[in-house]
């Protein structure tokens, strides 16, 4: 029996189609070089974790552990992301959801009236096996000259805010408990255990 709770998700559906007119005023994608500097070390860490067998990845969602779900956070939606995922054997699309009011940072922001404003992003959840993850890393390394049929991955890589495995923080954020705790602390309603 698993020591950790399973990750329950809705039935996978095709990614929502982007509204006409592109990203709808979303943040400007970063350059390949900027993304390499920002996320290259993260890719290396995930690769090392797999090579050291600290993570056991599987090819089905049966008994899927939250820490085995790959999370990709993007600054905006990626058109036809579902189709891009299907190109990699062993990479399975689980679900996606929008993130509202993402605070601007040095990498992604929307500029309105000379001021950096919050923007909308999207989070994609996928399961993977080791072979699929290795192919994803190969695409990352070749992002300037992707093979035919993998062009959407360039869009993913240029809009990628974060890449990680599902964590306890993700579980807590989805429940709303963190917001409840913040409210209780702000209003000093009751002590928190």
What are the pLDDT digits (tens) for 78-127? Answer: 888 888 888 888 888 888 888 888 888 888 888 888 888 888 888 877 77
Give pLDDT tens digits for 154-183. 888 888 888 888 777 777 766 777 777 778
Crossing angle of helices 177-187 and 168-175, rounded to 10° = 70
Tokens of 158: 């240029």
For residue 94, report the phi and psi dihedrals to the nearest 5 degrees: -100, -55
Mean pLDDT of the chain: 75
- Domains of the chain by residue range: 32-167
Please give the backbone phi and psi of residue 164, each rounded to the nearest 5 degrees, phi first: -165, 175
Question: What pLDDT is recorded for position 16?
Answer: 45
Q: pTM of the prediction? A: 0.62
Answer for the pair 78, 156: CB distance below 8 angstroms, yes or no.
yes
Give pLDDT, residue 61.
Answer: 47
For residue 73, the surrounding DSSP H or E stretch is: strand 69-74
Mean pLDDT of 57-70: 56
Cα radius of gyration rounded to whole Å, the chain = 18
Alpha carbon 75 to its chain centroid, in Å, reads 10
Residue 19's pLDDT is 40
Pairing relationship of beta strands 110-112 and 115-117 according to DSSP bridges: antiparallel
Task: Over range 134-155, report the average pLDDT.
Answer: 88
Quick one: pLDDT band at residue 1, thresholds 50, 70, 90?
A: very low
Percent of the chain with pLDDT over 70: 72
Per-residue pLDDT at 142 exceeds 80: yes
The sign of the torsion formed by the CA atoms of 165, 167, 169, 171 equals positive
The pLDDT score that the predictor gives to residue 17 is 43
């Amino acid at each position: 029996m698993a020591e950790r709770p399973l990750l329950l998700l809705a039935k996978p559906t095709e990614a929502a189609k982007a509204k006409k007119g592109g990203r709808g005023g979303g943040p400007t994608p970063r350059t390949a070089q900027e993304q390499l500097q920002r996320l290259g070390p993260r890719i290396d860490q995930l690769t090392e974790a797999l090579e050291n067998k600290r993570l056991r990845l599987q090819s089905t969602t049966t008994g899927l552990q939250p820490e085995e779900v790959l999370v990709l956070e993007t600054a905006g939606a990626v058109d036809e992301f579902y189709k891009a995922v299907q190109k990699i054997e062993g990479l399975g699309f689980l679900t996606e959801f929008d993130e509202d009011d993402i605070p601007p940072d040095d990498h992604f922001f929307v500029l309105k009236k000379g001021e950096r404003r919050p923007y909308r992003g999207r989070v994609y959840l996928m399961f993977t096996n080791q072979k699929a993850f290795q192919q994803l890393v190969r695409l990352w390394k070749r992002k300037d000259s992707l093979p035919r049929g993998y062009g959407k991955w360039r869009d993913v890589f240029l809009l990628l805010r974060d890449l990680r495995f599902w964590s306890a923080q993700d579980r807590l954020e989805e429940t709303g408990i963190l917001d409840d705790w913040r409210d209780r602390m702000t209003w000093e309603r009751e002590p928190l255990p």
